[in-house]
Structure 1
Amino acid sequence: MNDSVTTRSENTSGLPEGEATRRWFPTAFTVLAVILIVVWVASFFIPSGIYDTDPDTGRPIPGSYHQLASCDAAAEGERCVDKSLRVQFWRLWNATPNGLYGVQNADGQVGQWEEGFLYGAAQIFMFVLAVGAFITVATKSGAIQTGIGRLAMRFKGSGTALIVVLMLIFAVGGTTYGMWEETLGFFPLMVPLALALGYDRIVAVGIIFLGAGTGVLASTVNPFATGVASDAALISVGDGIVLRLLLWMVLVTIAIGYVLWYAHRVKADPSRSIVGISAEDARDSLSLVTDVPALTGRHKAILGVFFLAFAILLYGFIPWEDVTQNLLSRSWPLPTFADFYFTEASMLFIVAAIAIGWIAGMGEAGTVNTIVSGAGDFIGAALIIVVARGVTVVMRNTTITDTILSWAEEAVSGTSASAFAVLAFLVNLPLAFLVPSSSGHAALIMPILAPLSDFASVDRSIAVTAYQSASGLINYITPTAAVVMGGLTLAKVRYDHYLRFALPFVGIALVITSAFLAIGSAAT
């Protein structure tokens, strides 16, 4: 997956090199905790206020913002905000628990005893744990690693075909379930294979990082980016999926072409390799990957269940009726899953995990223990969402969210839809570095960015795409990511050498993504 505890991908790989590299930068939990306290302190000084909302959509009406008085100065019967130290203390104290199960009332206040709808992240919290269980069971079965290993061996005589196929697989993993930490397990296979084909270590890194990373940048249904952001923006995961799918196709094509260009250049002239090709590289070549086990019938069945689960997820999340009406001006002819969302998707992955455990022969105890272990491995990613949601709980309970929105509304007033979309993308780039958890980043920024996009007449799905693209772009190169530093350590590639290879592509991806956002915002 693409989201655990310490980085945007929040991986806790245990690699000493990666850990040492991150010592100078706090974890995502610490960053969010600091933000929570800063927001709480700021709430004493930021005026409280609210927008009037549209009775049909519940969205704020532009230009309707008005301030609320303090309760000690308000007239009788007038809505007010109590900012006494005692009340404010409990708002901070209860922020994180309410970020999980808090209920929002009609006045926008969030608490465990309120009446209204669930504001806390309980659904997405459970979904993340279910995905963790599913991925862990599938990984423990060995089917995924064996499948990719056998595929690599089949194409070992054709470097070009191998690069294309493997990058497509990694990109699909990135766009569907945020494949990122899982890529660390493929470096021992990819590096010697690339060397045996006459390439260098950078090619192996490019296949994995540019493949999976591009999939994450252009996530379609990735639960840790698209899912969390869509939930926070109060829209369906399927909203905007056509634009994201087109972006995925274009960027993956460019990424594959970029890696192929570099690989062919190195093979034709090894002196042009960024890292060089040493005698050690010759020893680390194909002889190290000839022991890939056979792909058994059990493996094939597991892979079938694995891909079927994501196919059902994709089918369930996409609003087919809206897509076909917009593109084909006709109704979707097949039955769809009514109200398919995170609760239903959670059970989908739990059932699929049980099925894979049974097929793999893990037994009842082995399957249950692996599911529990997998959920435990992903608890960091789930808690990040809760902490980030706690920040927005404080903002809502002190009614400063709309005040900040009103300031932002003034800033974007008169801005074109295209300019707003690109600006939202660029503003999220430094935030993606400061909050390197994709899920934490989404839960933190989307409650502000989504209604702000309404004011700019930009569809909320564009705001989601802008956020996740920024997170994915930073994901390629951030030195605070244990996956990046850990993968480079496994590949024996220096970080500065990797930057020389990756930065030109990152620049291309930035321009292409900006263009897609500008065009997409103008078209919606």
Structure 2
Amino acid sequence: MSDYPQTTENNHKPTSSRFPTAYSILFALIILMAALTWIMPAGQYSKAMNEALGKESPVPGTYLTVDAQPQGLVDVMLAPIAGFYDPSSYVANAIDVSLFVLVIGGFLGVVNATGAVNTGIERAIVNLKGREKWIIPALMALFALGGTTYGMAEETLAFYPLLIPVMIAAGYDAVTGVAIIMLGAGIGVFGSTINPFSTAIASNAAGIPFTQGMVLRLVILGLSWLIAVLFVMRYAARVKEDPSRSVVADRKTLNEAYFLKRHDAARTESLTRQQSIILIVFGATFAVMIWGVSSQGWWMAKMSALFLGSSIVISFIGWLGEKKMTAAFVDGARDLLGVALVIGLARGIVVIMDNGMITHTILHYFEGKISGMSSVAYVNAMFGTEALLSFIVPSTSGLAVLSMPILAPLSDFAGVGRDLAVTAFQTSIGITNLIAPTYAVVVGGLAIGRVPYERWLVFVWPLLVLLIALSCATLSIAPLL
């Protein structure tokens, strides 16, 4: 889940953004929060054991001012380091989550080294030849599965050169190919269930197991997938019937010349028995994780051990050998090193706020703002707030650990379950990550598909309206049930 644009295939590079990286933004926020400790009054809530959470939480109405603890330059430099392990932090330590992220990256690196996922999708395309319209729901389901389980994002860039020629050859356009991949994986993130980079990290920061709220998220995932599939299929049918209705109609000749010359080069290997077994193990790993968390009390350490063990099993099945397996694991972990680092950096903000005694002051301010707000109004206000923040902090995990420690406790004051706060977070950022120009997956995918950013906005805005309506409706109904 890198925060930086990446070089894509065929030497095409995503459009560079003038916007700062998530690292710079988060470090600037550390400095800002340190400055606020010199200005804002320090304060503290009394805490009491919350039986539902199994930990202490602030008691509404008990806020008192205390002596100021202004944070200086040394504190600012120590904050990102302390964010990983500071036992005094209001948020749980980040080191266990960061290690889990690195192990997940290594696991995905080993799976990708076997070619099982790539070949599985290629075979699906070949088997549906002549019935290409069914590629849309089939592949959007597969990409959504990747998005909802492990936050599939940058991994999708490899599929654009493979899928877009197939869709153009079938009479559709490049936007259709881009939409299948970007919206498919994006819908999975929007309706995350066990995604470690969205639901798991946000739940961890909120102080709850990520299995809480699973039923609602499954409903959102199913409905949003259906809406997105119908949206893309309707657009694809219109383009096939009348190519002039394509949002990139003026680029049709150029796109066909560019992509179709590579169409015959698309790989069509058969899915081997080894790769079939690997895909079964891949899916079973996530199933075991759900079982372990929901019924055995597993958390980051045991989940990390599970994915490490699965990596070893998959490497044996795929006959990768010791050197190739370790290289693939290290390379995969390296790809997600930025995510692991941004977790500690973002939690450094909370360290500064806690040490400067302004965390509860901010909570107190918002407690006053929402004291007369209904639960329905609160979850919708949170949805809008997170959507705006995600444009500024384009890292899903970074925003989760930045906002959840503040907004999740406010849910207690509003009478809303923290799991609903997590759902509001993930749906809001799932929508903005479909269009944010600061997000590498968006600019990268559009660059490979040769789809101008403004044309993508023209195409996708009706779907965004539908997804926002779905989010607001489900978030509004849930507190009333």
1:76 aligned residue: none
2:324 aligned residue: 366
User: Shift of residue 279 of structure 1?
Assistant: 6.3
2:256 aligned residue: 281
Code of the aligned partner of 1:4: S
2:153 to 177, 180, 187: 180
Code of the aligned partner of 1:315: W
2:186 to 194, 213, 235: 213
**Where does 1:293-332 land on structure 2 (aligned, <5 Å)?**
293-317=269-293, 319=294
2:38 to 34, 44, 53: 44
Q: CA–CA distance in 2 between the matches of 1:287 and 1:372?
A: 33
Is residue 248–residue 451 contact of structure 2 (8 Å, CA) maintained in 1?
yes
Q: Say whether residues 1:473 and 2:473 are aligned partners.
A: no
Deviates more, 1:153-162 or 1:130-139: 153-162
2:374 aligned residue: 416
Q: CA–CA distance in 2 between the matches of 1:431 and 1:147?
A: 37
1:91 to 71, 75, 92: 75
2:271 partner SS: coil
1:65 aligned residue: 63
1:460 aligned residue: 418
Aligned in 2, Cα 1:4/1:290: closer, same or farther, shift over 3 Å?
closer
2:175 aligned residue: 202
2:85 aligned residue: 101
Q: Say whether residues 1:123 and 2:107 are aligned partners.
A: no
Q: CA–CA distance in 2 between the matches of 1:62 and 1:150?
A: 57
2:16 aligned residue: 21
Q: CA–CA distance in 2 between the matches of 1:195 and 1:282?
A: 10
Identity of aligned residues (%): 39
Code of the aligned partner of 1:311: A
Q: TM-score with structure 2 length normalisation? A: 0.95
Aligned in 2, Cα 1:280/1:31: closer, same or farther, shift over 3 Å?
closer
Q: Say whether residues 1:32 and 2:26 are aligned partners.
A: yes
User: Shift of residue 305 of structure 1?
Assistant: 1.3
Q: CA–CA distance in 2 between the matches of 1:520 and 1:242?
A: 11
**Where does 1:354-503 land on structure 2 (aligned, <5 Å)?**
354-503=312-461
**Where does 1:162-181 land on structure 2 (aligned, <5 Å)?**
162-181=135-154
Aligned in 2, Cα 1:409/1:281: closer, same or farther, shift over 3 Å?
same
Q: CA–CA distance in 2 between the matches of 1:409 and 1:228?
A: 24
Q: Say whether residues 1:248 and 2:221 are aligned partners.
A: yes
Aligned in 2, Cα 1:56/1:290: closer, same or farther, shift over 3 Å?
closer
User: Shift of residue 358 of structure 1?
Assistant: 1.7
2:164 aligned residue: 191
Q: Say whether residues 1:145 and 2:118 are aligned partners.
A: yes
User: Shift of residue 54 of structure 1?
Assistant: 1.9
User: Shift of residue 293 of structure 1?
Assistant: 1.2
User: Shift of residue 159 of structure 1?
Assistant: 2.2
Code of the aligned partner of 2:151: G
Q: CA–CA distance in 1 between the matches of 2:265 and 2:165?
A: 7
Deviates more, 1:252-261 or 1:58-67: 58-67
RMSD, matched Cα: 1.8
1:5 aligned residue: 3
User: Shift of residue 315 of structure 1?
Assistant: 2.7
User: Shift of residue 280 of structure 1?
Assistant: 4.9
Code of the aligned partner of 1:26: P
2:49 partner SS: coil
Aligned in 2, Cα 1:410/1:283: closer, same or farther, shift over 3 Å?
closer
- Higher helix fraction: Structure 1 or Structure 2? 2
Is residue 195–residue 282 contact of structure 1 (8 Å, CA) maintained in 2?
no
Aligned in 2, Cα 1:17/1:63: closer, same or farther, shift over 3 Å?
farther
Is residue 192–residue 289 contact of structure 1 (8 Å, CA) maintained in 2?
no
2:57 partner SS: coil
2:238 partner SS: helix
Is residue 233–residue 460 contact of structure 1 (8 Å, CA) maintained in 2?
yes
Unmatched runs of 5 consecutive residues or more in structure 1? 71-81, 111-117, 320-335
Number of aligned positions between the proteins: 473
1:291 to 248, 267, 272: 267
Code of the aligned partner of 1:69: D
2:434 partner SS: helix
Q: CA–CA distance in 1 between the matches of 2:271 and 2:444?
A: 28
**Where does 1:260-271 land on structure 2 (aligned, <5 Å)?**
260-271=233-244
Unmatched runs of 5 consecutive residues or more in structure 2? none
Is residue 6–residue 13 contact of structure 2 (8 Å, CA) maintained in 1?
no
Aligned in 2, Cα 1:283/1:50: closer, same or farther, shift over 3 Å?
closer
Code of the aligned partner of 1:518: S
Larger radius of gyration: 1
Q: CA–CA distance in 1 between the matches of 2:267 and 2:8?
A: 26
Q: CA–CA distance in 1 between the matches of 2:153 and 2:163?
A: 15
User: Shift of residue 178 of structure 1?
Assistant: 0.4
Code of the aligned partner of 1:427: T
Q: CA–CA distance in 2 between the matches of 1:17 and 1:254?
A: 32
**Where does 1:227-238 land on structure 2 (aligned, <5 Å)?**
227-238=200-211
Code of the aligned partner of 1:145: N
Deviation string for 1:372-421 (max 9, x for gaps)?
A: 22112211011001100110011111111000000000101111101100
Q: TM-score with structure 1 length normalisation? A: 0.87
Q: CA–CA distance in 2 between the matches of 1:189 and 1:470?
A: 30
